[in-house]
Structure 1
Amino acid sequence: MAPIRLAIVGLGKIARDQHLGAIEATDGIDLVAVASRNAKLDNIACFHEIGDLLASDIAIDAVSLCTPPQGRFEQAKAALDAGKHVMLEKPPGATLSEVFALAEMAKAKGLSLFSTWHSRAAAAVEPARALIAKRKIKSVSVEWKEDVRHWHPGQAWIWEPGGLGVFDPGINALSIVTRIMPESFHLVGSELTFPANRAAPIAASLSFETASGIPVGAEFDWRQTGPQTWDIRIETEEGSVVLTHGGSRLIVDGVAQIVEEDREYRNIYRDFVALVNNGASDTDYSPLVHVADAFMLGRRIQTEAFED
Structure 2
Amino acid sequence: MMAIPIAIVGVGKIARDQHLPTLAASNRWRLAGVVSRHADDLDVSAHPTLTALKAAVPELAAVSICTPPIGRTDVIREALELGLDVMVEKPPAATISEAERFASLARDAGRSLFLTWHSREASGVAPLSAWLNGRTINRVAIEWMEDVRVWHPGQEWIWEPGIGVFDPGINALSILTRLLGPVSMTGATLRFPANKASPIAASLAMEGGAGELVSAEFSFDQRGPQTWTMTLDTDGGQATLLDGGGRLEINGSPVDVPEGTEYGRLYDRFAELVGKGEIDADLAPFRLVTDAFLIGRREQVDAFSWSD
Normalised by the size of structure 2, how large is the TM-score?
0.95
Shift, 1:3, TM fit? 1.9
CA distance in 2, matches of 1:55, 1:200: 39
Q: Does 1:85 align with 2:85?
A: yes
How many residue pairs match? The answer is 306
Task: From the superposition, tell whether residues 159 and 261 of structure 1 become closer, same or farther in structure 2 (CA, over 3 Å).
Answer: farther
Name the residue aligned to 2:105: 105
Shift, 1:76, TM fit? 1.0
Q: What is the DSSP-based 3-state SS (H/G/I as helix, E as strand, rest coil) of the residue aligned with 1:292?
A: helix
AA partner of residue 178 (structure 1): T
Task: From the superposition, tell whether residues 304 and 262 of structure 1 become closer, same or farther in structure 2 (CA, over 3 Å).
Answer: farther
Shift, 1:51, TM fit? 4.0
CA distance in 2, matches of 1:85, 1:302: 43
Name the residue aligned to 2:172: 173
Name the residue aligned to 1:226: 224
Is the Cα–Cα contact under 8 Å of residues 127 and 257 in structure 2 kept in the other structure?
A: no
Is the Cα–Cα contact under 8 Å of residues 141 and 215 in structure 2 kept in the other structure?
A: yes
AA partner of residue 95 (structure 2): T
AA partner of residue 184 (structure 1): P
Q: Deviations over 1:205-248 (max 9, x none)?
A: 11001244321111100111111100000001221011000101
Name the residue aligned to 1:298: 296
AA partner of residue 237 (structure 2): G
Q: What is the DSSP-based 3-state SS (H/G/I as helix, E as strand, rest coil) of the residue aligned with 2:255?
A: strand
Is the Cα–Cα contact under 8 Å of residues 191 and 298 in structure 2 kept in the other structure?
A: yes
Is the Cα–Cα contact under 8 Å of residues 248 and 260 in structure 1 kept in the other structure?
A: no
Name the residue aligned to 2:286: 288
Comparing 144-153 with 33-42, which one deviates more in the overlay?
Answer: 33-42
CA distance in 2, matches of 1:27, 1:90: 24
AA partner of residue 265 (structure 1): Y
- Where do 5+ consecutive residues of structure 2 fail to align? none
- Where do 5+ consecutive residues of structure 1 fail to align? none
Q: What is the DSSP-based 3-state SS (H/G/I as helix, E as strand, rest coil) of the residue aligned with 1:296?
A: helix
Q: What is the DSSP-based 3-state SS (H/G/I as helix, E as strand, rest coil) of the residue aligned with 1:161?
A: coil
Shift, 1:134, TM fit? 1.9
Identity of aligned residues (%): 49
Is the Cα–Cα contact under 8 Å of residues 34 and 41 in structure 1 kept in the other structure?
A: no
AA partner of residue 219 (structure 1): E
AA partner of residue 165 (structure 1): G
Name the residue aligned to 2:125: 125
> Residues 207-226 of structure 1 correspond to what in structure 2 (within 5 A)?
207-226=205-224
Name the residue aligned to 1:245: 243
RMSD of aligned Cα (Å): 1.5
Task: From the superposition, tell whether residues 20 and 57 of structure 1 become closer, same or farther in structure 2 (CA, over 3 Å).
Answer: closer
Q: Deviations over 1:118-163 (max 9, x none)?
A: 111111101111111221211011100001000000100110125x
Shift, 1:259, TM fit? 5.5
Shift, 1:273, TM fit? 1.0
The match for 2:189 among 191, 212, 234 is: 191
Name the residue aligned to 1:6: 6
CA distance in 1, matches of 2:51, 2:195: 34
Name the residue aligned to 1:38: 38
AA partner of residue 200 (structure 1): S
Is the Cα–Cα contact under 8 Å of residues 6 and 61 in structure 1 kept in the other structure?
A: yes
